[in-house]
Amino acid sequence: MNLEQLDAQLASQLDQHHSLEAIDTMSEHAPARRLVWWGCQCAWSLWRPEPVAAEDDALRLIVRWVVEQSDERRIACESMAKTEAAAVTQSRWLLQAAVFSGGELRSSNSPIASPTPDVSGRYVNGFLQNLLAQTDPVERHRLAHSFVQLARQSLAHPLPEPSAPATALV
Return the pLDDT at 170: 44
Which amino acid appears at position 25 of this protein? T
Digit-by-digit pLDDT tens for the chain (170 residues) are 899 999 999 999 999 999 999 999 999 999 999 999 999 999 999 988 888 888 889 999 999 999 998 888 998 998 888 876 555 678 899 999 999 998 777 666 666 667 778 899 999 999 999 999 999 988 999 999 999 999 999 999 999 888 755 444 44
pLDDT given for residue 167 in this prediction: 46
Q: Coil, strand or helix: which one is 86? A: coil
Distance of CA 100 to the CA centre of its chain: 12
What's the pLDDT at 108? Answer: 63
Q: Are strands 101-105 and 114-118 parallel, antiparallel or unpaired?
A: antiparallel
Q: Where are the domains of the chain?
A: 3-158
Question: How far apart (Å, rounded) are the C-alpha atoms in residues 137 and 58?
Answer: 28
Q: What are phi and psi of 115, to 5 degrees?
A: -70, 140
Q: What is the dihedral of CA 15, 20, 21, 24, to 10 degrees?
A: 130
